[in-house]
Amino acid sequence: MMPDLADLLDGLHVVALPMRVRFRGITTREVALFEGPAGWGEFGAFVEYEPPEAAHWLASAIEAAYREPPPVRRDRIPINATVPAVGASEVPGVLARFPGARTAKVKVAEPGQDLADDVARVNATRELVPTVRVDANGGWDVDAATAATAALTADGPLEYLEQPCATVAELAELRRRVDVPIAADESIRKAGDPLAVVRAGAADVAVLKVAPLGGVSKMLEIAAQIDVPIVVSSALDSAVGIGRGLHAAAALPELRHACGLGTRRLFVDDVAEPWVIEEGFLPVAPVTPDGARLAALAVSADRRQWWIDRVKTCYPLLVPSFG
């Protein structure tokens, strides 16, 4: 059954994770964590998200803490390196934090940068990793995405373009113009109908994230209705959220691509000791935060209250289906 709001708030820990570089426009990642009978849950909806969207993230956290997870089919998951919008000279240092990874996702279309910056960053990555994908976070229109695709593939192939444009219609149009596969992320996790992008023939790959979709069970339910390959990715999660992403990836019937679940390397510190990436893989295992780390990374009293208020606002929006 749905846990009482008082129980959630009683054991709430809110932490601020410092980041090595700016990512998604932030240098510190705040998340709220709580423990239930099934383990730990993470509520980390980005601060700008309104309650109806953030409520999905709270549902995911409650599922993690109060429901036993589904069975898994594999005990380790291949992960991609994540290269933020850094200068080309910084790429080797970033990739060194993902030992053995043979796939890298490179952020492009960063505000304040230009296409030449993207090309330099992608080419620097290609020198060190055999498979490269890019993520534009919907930053281009169709014409800009078409030009960017030509520039970014001039010196080598791309595995796929992740969310090059913002809308489903734009993705479908771009897919008709370019030969590089198109992956949908925001068009799935931020959509009222997460399956619309696939029905529209707008994507060759579906990027699914556990928390924005409402939990592992909901993500697997959506994945079962999608007839393109699935990539499970992080929503800039702490160790707790990454553990759930790895479990989701391990439960999929088929996994053809490396997953975007190595983003803990973007943090200076985390709530649990990072797993060691071995030959580009991470193990599938539950995560229990370390008490000393929770205390050391705790936010100020006013920020904790902000998250308490947010839980109180999102909680009534949940469907009581956790029994």
For residue 201, is pLDDT > 80?
A: yes
Same domain, 18 and 90: no
Across the chain, which distance is largest between two alpha carbons, in Å?
57
pLDDT of residue 25: 79
The set of residues, in sequence order, having a beta carbon less than 8 Å from that of 258 and lying 6+ positions away, is 78, 79, 80, 101, 102, 103, 131, 231, 280
In-domain check, residue 80? yes
Residue 72: phi and psi, rounded to 5, are: -110, 160
Binding region: 135, 162, 185
How many CB atoms are closer than 10 A to CB 191?
Answer: 13
In-domain check, residue 185? yes
Q: What is the CATH number of the domain that holds 59?
A: 3.30.390.10
Q: Which amino acid is at 67?
A: R
For residue 322, is pLDDT > 60?
A: no
209: annotated active-site residue: yes
How far separated are the first and last CA of the chain, in Å rounded?
4
Count of the separate structural domains present in the chain: 2
Average pLDDT over every residue of 272-284: 93
Report d(CA 129, CA 216) in Å as an integer: 30
Average pLDDT over every residue of 91-98: 94
pLDDT of residue 323: 45
Same domain, 149 and 256: yes
| Model confidence pTM above 0.85 | yes
In-domain check, residue 322? no
* 194 secondary structure, DSSP code: T
The model's pLDDT over 58-93, given as tens digits with 9 standing for 90+, comes to: 999 999 999 999 999 999 999 999 999 999 999 999
Average pLDDT over every residue of 210-230: 94
The model's pLDDT over 112-141, given as tens digits with 9 standing for 90+, comes to: 999 999 999 999 999 999 999 999 999 999
For residue 3, is pLDDT > 90?
A: yes
pLDDT of residue 310: 98
Average pLDDT over every residue of 276-299: 96
312: annotated active-site residue: no
Same domain, 193 and 242: yes
In-domain check, residue 210? yes
For residue 262, is pLDDT > 70?
A: yes
Domain that holds residue 188: 76-283
Same domain, 157 and 255: yes
Same domain, 177 and 311: no
Average pLDDT over every residue of 9-31: 91
pLDDT of residue 56: 96
For residue 168, is pLDDT > 70?
A: yes
Report d(CA 267, CA 272) in Å as an integer: 12
Same domain, 169 and 298: no
Binding region for Mg(2+): 135, 162, 185
Instruction: Say which residue, 83 or 23, is predicted with more confidence.
Output: 83
| Active-site annotation holder among 190, 209, 218, 312 | 209
